[in-house]
A and B are shown apart, each in its own frame.
Chain A
């Protein structure tokens, strides 16, 4: 028995050590404001590094731009850069660790500092009963002849909430200014939680789909470890039509994709025309208009049926995008022409086997090449879709709401005024936490009005502070 007792005692003691460490060491360390400022500034510095060094490029890129021989600042060669993860700053373990420290510091500060302080300010028995208590205020005054009853309407006019107990008066306004910072901190924590949840359960996919095709989401580019259930398997999407509106000057006005969501039986359950800034949402998955390409060209040779021939993007370096294909003009494929287009406005260039421009055709028109009539019926566009599911979004948005509400509330200055009547003497003191200048004006105006009222009531009486 005794052995067992001492064992359990040891156990509880073992449990107490971390608890002691947590309460006496860890929490005060995390709640320290100097740590908070350091974290904020270090986060800023780390973020700057990610804007100065190109993110997410190939190893060759860093090898050329950060050579070992002439390392930047004498140390920043591509090897150092890649080892530190400076090519993907915002996903490195040290950046994420700092974010976790940031979250812990916020939590500790909220519970250790803000909530206790709020409890203190929200209690209503905050009265002063001794004249000497007023001496500490920068803004304080005493009247030899004044009545606290005269003060009450002046404070009410200025929307103060008034509490009285015997000869003492306490009035305050703007308590929301004390609650605001707490809501800010909670809002940031909610955003961080939502971001983590989204990273674990969300996925991103990209699809390039020609007009008229049906597709299921399959080209997943990024998925969290818990994302499998999010990826839709029981519905597909049909791109009814993709088109581009051009301005009269020929630049792109807007991209549109007319899309239908189909259930397992191929029946349409939702239809919407999307464009940039106007995505399609279905069951937590959102499809955004992101990119476009030319998928194919529909041509007719003499009296043939209409052929749809795929077009491929040609490599131009970085000098704009063009698409091309080859159309045979002889049954044995021994001769043909190349068709090249740069957008969906309808102009197609026709080149012969020697690479010479032989004709330009608009869609719907035809031309004579190699002795046959080539009619270009249509250019078929593909829509580039960015597809995303992020179950963390509602949480993040809730955090955004709290954060905005919190920062707005935090602008309010919490003003407090104390008064004490002792016989004919009235002592007044006041303070505010933020708007010192505005509060000084308000407090002096109150004193001024009190002084005037005193003079009106008893013209012969002498007030000590207001003359």
Chain B
């Protein structure tokens, strides 16, 4: 079959599937009791992921080099990354809220690439001399994966901000290990009593976790505190805790990728034209992204910067990644430009 026609079918298909997947995730979030939606959303993401992989594979066959050299290809590679990281995040957190935020972004990127980009920018073109190097694949693919990872992490920070709207929160997880200790406003229940009164909605939440454990509940009535000292039982993470921690872990994964991607670019630049850092706008914005997420990682271990503030920084990071990825093109200069398209 004609590779070009196959590509046209695949890019429109992945857009359509991501659009439906997004609706499935949204309906699923609005009506959590509807059956099959969870499975349907994940399946949609998986099909979109495979479609894009096939699309990029067809481009690779057609052009003979790793398909990441123009805006169209890199947008699809980014979507592939977002959908792939989506699975990691969904699997780690066990929360379907991940898809609520990642699906629309993946959908929007494919919509832009498949529908708004002019046809001549969608075709693959020969590489310019400067890009003919094995470093291209190493540098660009790692950078794109780091963008995708950081975007998913930032999106989860945004979800966390929405979920905890108007609340005071204590963060779980940082390099020094904040948040491993018991909240003072939670007291321990005796396991027997909690199970006896199992109409408590929180018991249900515990059962769905797959591990039957004793239950913690908000401050117990005074009658219980007069009972003999309660035995210890684990205090589980809440939905907000989980979102926040998985956001932190995903950004923690994207940060090394970004670091390695920037360094690969620096080494390439030094090998190719003798300067590992030349303050080119794209380079500078990659550094800015790195600095913003470095600040986020440090904010989490800072007293007085707890609660929602680091998440706000991570959410800002979402914008910074986009400026770094596309905004620099508007300046239209340097080796990193994908070309002018407005």
Contacts and interface: CB of A to CB of B under 8 A. Distances in A.
Interface of A: 33-34, 36-37, 40-41, 43-44, 47-48, 50-51, 55, 90, 117, 134-142, 144, 177-178, 181, 195, 204, 247, 249, 251-255, 275-277, 279, 286, 288, 290, 386-388, 390, 393, 396-397, 400, 403-404, 407-408, 410-411, 413-414, 427, 429, 431-438, 440, 443-445, 447-448, 464-467
Interface string B48-73: 00000000000000000000000000
Given A34-B304, A277-B130, A141 B295 contact: no
B249 A437 contact: yes
Given A48-B288, A407-B259, 18 more contacts: A33-B302, A41-B291, A44-B295, A135-B182, A144-B231, A247-B126, A276-B132, A276-B273, A286-B274, A290-B273, A400-B263, A404-B260, A407-B256, A414-B177, A433-B176, A433-B180, A436-B179, A445-B211
Contacts of B248: 434
Interface in B274-326: 274-277, 279, 281, 284-285, 287-288, 291-292, 294-295, 298-299, 301-305
A142 B272 contact: no
Contacts of A467: 191-192, 195, 212, 214
A251 B92 contact: no
A289 to B, nearest CB: 8
The binding surface of chain A is classed by DSSP as mixed
A142 B272 CA distance: 62
A464 B213 CA distance: 10
Contacts of A403: 259, 263
Interface string B156-185: 000000000000000011111101111100
A251 B299 CA distance: 50
Interface of B: 92-93, 126, 128-130, 132-133, 135, 172-177, 179-183, 190-192, 195, 209, 211-214, 231-237, 241-242, 245-246, 248-249, 252-253, 255-256, 259-260, 263, 266-267, 270-277, 279, 281, 284-285, 287-288, 291-292, 294-295, 298-299, 301-305, 328, 331
Given A33-B298, A275-B129, A432-B180, A466 B285 contact: no
B182 A136 contact: yes
A447 B267 CA distance: 48
A408 B274 contact: no
Contacts of B209: 444
Contact of A288 (B129, B272, B299): B272
Contact of B284 (A41, A47, A414): A47
A437 B126 contact: no
B295 A41 contact: yes
Contact of B191 (A140, A178, A464): A464
A50 B191 contact: no
A437 B212 contact: no
Contacts of A435: 173, 245, 249
A436 B245 contact: yes
B213 A138 contact: no
B232 A142 contact: yes
A288 B276 contact: no
A379 to B, nearest CB: 19
A444 B213 CA distance: 8
B302 A34 contact: yes
Given A40-B294, A41-B295, A138-B234, A437 B245 contact: yes
Contacts of A387: 274
B331 A51 contact: yes
A465 B267 contact: no
A141 B216 CA distance: 12
Contact of A411 (B177, B253, B272, B275): B253
B120 to A, nearest CB: 15
A34 B304 CA distance: 9
B236 to A, nearest CB: 7
Contacts, number: 215
A410 B252 contact: yes
A445 B210 CA distance: 10
Given A435-B173, A444-B213, A447-B234, A288 B191 contact: no
Contacts of B183: 138
Nearest to A195: B277
Contacts of B179: 138, 436
Contacts of A390: 274
Contacts of B176: 117, 433
Contacts of B192: 467
B191 A43 contact: no
A433 B300 CA distance: 11
Contacts of B303: 33
Given A33-B301, A434-B249, A51 B132 contact: no
A259 B75 CA distance: 41
Contacts of A136: 181-182
Contacts of A251: 126
Contacts of B271: 277, 279
Contacts of B133: 277
6 contacts: A41-B291, A254-B132, A286-B274, A436-B172, A437-B241, A440-B236
B284 A437 contact: no
A448 B181 CA distance: 21
B92 A438 contact: yes
Contacts of B304: 34
B126 to A, nearest CB: 6
A137 B180 contact: yes
A51 B234 contact: no
Contacts of B130: 276-277
A397 B176 CA distance: 29
The 6 closest A-B pairs by CB, nearest first: A433-B177, A431-B180, A464-B231, A407-B256, A388-B274, A44-B291
Of A178, A276, A286, A443, which is in contact with the most chain B CB atoms at under 10 Å from its CB?
A276
Contacts of A252: 128-129
Contacts of B287: 44, 47
A140 B232 contact: yes
B211 A437 contact: no
Contact of A139 (B93, B212, B234): B234
A288 B273 contact: yes
B177 A432 contact: yes
A400 B260 CA distance: 9
Contacts of B302: 33-34, 37
Contacts of A443: 234
Contacts of A432: 173, 177, 180
A134 B192 CA distance: 21
A142 B213 CA distance: 12
B182 to A, nearest CB: 5
B256 A448 contact: no
A137 B232 CA distance: 9
Given A47-B288, A436-B173, A444-B211, A139 B132 contact: no
A34 B276 contact: no
Given A135-B182, A279-B274, A434-B175, A253 B129 contact: yes
A186 B135 CA distance: 26
A443 B180 CA distance: 12
Contacts of B235: 138-139
Contacts of A438: 92, 249
A142 B249 CA distance: 29
B29 to A, nearest CB: 20
A393 B270 contact: yes
